[in-house]
Copies of this chain bind each other. A is one copy, B any other.
Amino acid sequence: MIKPRTPPGVMELLPRDQIAFQQMLDTIRRNFERFGFLPIETPVFELSEVLLTKSGGETERQVYFVQSTGALANAAESGGATPEMALRFDLTVPLARYVAEHEHELSFPFRRYQMQRVYRGERAQRGRFREFYQCDIDVIGKDALSVRYDAELPAVIFAVFSELAIGKFTIQLNNRRLMRGYFESLGVADAALQMAVLREVDKLDKRGADHVRETLTGEGFGLSGEVVEKILGFVQIRSTGHADALARLDALGQGGEDLNLGVAELRQVLEAVKALGVPETHYALNFSIARGLDYYTGTVYETLLDDYPQIGSICSGGRYENLASHYTKSRLPGVGISIGLTRLFWQLREAGLVDTAESCVQVLVSQMDEARLPAYLAIASELRAGGLNTEVQLEPRKLARQFQYADRAGIRFVVIVGEDEEARGVVSVKDLRRAEQFEVARGDLARTLKVELEQARAMGAASDPAS
């Protein structure tokens, strides 16, 4: 007998949690499609040569290699060449490979969404996953891509998290070019130095201002106290409301080309975000956001839950200069965001912010009388044809136990038909959510339950705390 268990570092859910998770995936996908993004899926494994273009680094240390039985046997003999294939560790490298491979079959700007699992050999630790979902959208241009595309993504983020209804959130915006320009205006012009400073500044929340101040004025950096104060003042800027955001940009004044361009881009993003109907309570400038320092080059995004900042960013991304330089000579600039749904779901559950979902099964046709089973099957067929997810109690069991089962499973309606109901051409329905029972003419059953469920859905949407 072998003990049944999963490998460590994966999140496996019981059905009711899986339903809640699936509803989040569906909501994200629906909103991605709402904004005109197209689906792609890529294989879970890529050729190692293709996947691991950057030598060394954190990524390669965390990668999982894949070998067939035959390849494994050969490797044991030949002694440790890199296996031919590896599991993807994000969706960005597969996207780069996909776009470069299919470049001449795609329309640009190419707007794609992709929601698949990725794999990282993380150290086993609570809340760290070795297998997790990423839900990504990116827009990829050919040669050039207007900043207008950067402005659409906050509208997508707003739509997704409003509908997910996990609490009030704020989309934080910054621009790497603006940052670079501002640093230049302080005489910190060297790119490597800027990156080092930003890396220190990134530790503000963890280590505190005093520590960062000390480091930046210390030997390694040797910045003047005045410059450091300006940097710390800058990175602590947060806007409140649309007008304030524009005023904060104005207050930066004129500077070098980078600063001016960065300010202009961010202003354009803010204006378009407003035109797309994102309420000004849900976006703000945050000049501390740098993200993947050597990757992003323009707009950058993070999204924080106002009441749970400790969860960290729930949706991040930004603008990059060139997606696929390892695979093609074409210049493919892009902008994208990513939601790490497995980790988010885990954190929301830890914080008590996801309810156990109702079942995806909406009706149980109970079995009151075994001889009437053909009638129960026919009722179930009618309900299914009417668009209701329906289970039939196929085995005889006490009615009380049937109700108990439906209740535990999160099934809302139990349909009951006995001799009396059949004689009168009606059906009894127990609504477990409202704890009430009612009768309905047999012919009206599917329509009635459908209306009830749609009302519940509409009310759910109306009580959405984010809207």
Residues of A within 8 A of B (CB): 1-7, 10, 12-15, 18-19, 22, 33-36, 38-47, 49-50, 53, 60-70, 72-73, 75-76, 79-80, 83-85, 87, 96-98, 100-102, 105-107, 109, 111-112, 117, 119, 121, 131, 146, 148-149, 152, 155, 159, 271-272, 275-277, 324, 326-329, 359-361, 364, 373-374, 377-378, 380-381, 384, 388-392, 394-395, 405, 408-409
Contact = CB atoms under 8 A, between A and B. Distances in A.
Contacts of A328: 1, 4
B14 A272 contact: no
Nearest to A81: B76
Q: Which of A53, A69, A378, A390 has the most CB of B within 10 A?
A: A69
Contact of A275 (B10, B34, B107, B377): B377
Nearest to A129: B43
A88 B191 CA distance: 47
Nearest to A396: B146
How many copies are assembled?
2
Contact of A276 (B6, B80, B380, B408): B380
Contact of A409 (B41, B72, B96, B107): B107
Contacts of A374: 271-272, 275
Q: Which of A96, A149, A277 has the most CB of B within 10 A?
A: A277
19 contacts: A2-B49, A6-B101, A15-B40, A18-B39, A18-B40, A34-B388, A36-B391, A38-B361, A72-B80, A73-B80, A76-B79, A76-B80, A107-B409, A111-B391, A146-B395, A148-B394, A148-B395, A155-B381, A276-B380
B43 A19 contact: no
A65 B117 CA distance: 18
A2 B50 contact: yes
B2 A327 contact: yes
A2 B111 CA distance: 24
Contact of A69 (B61, B79, B329, B390): B61
B112 A15 contact: yes
Contacts of A409: 107
Nearest to A119: B44
A384 B4 contact: no
Nearest to A276: B377
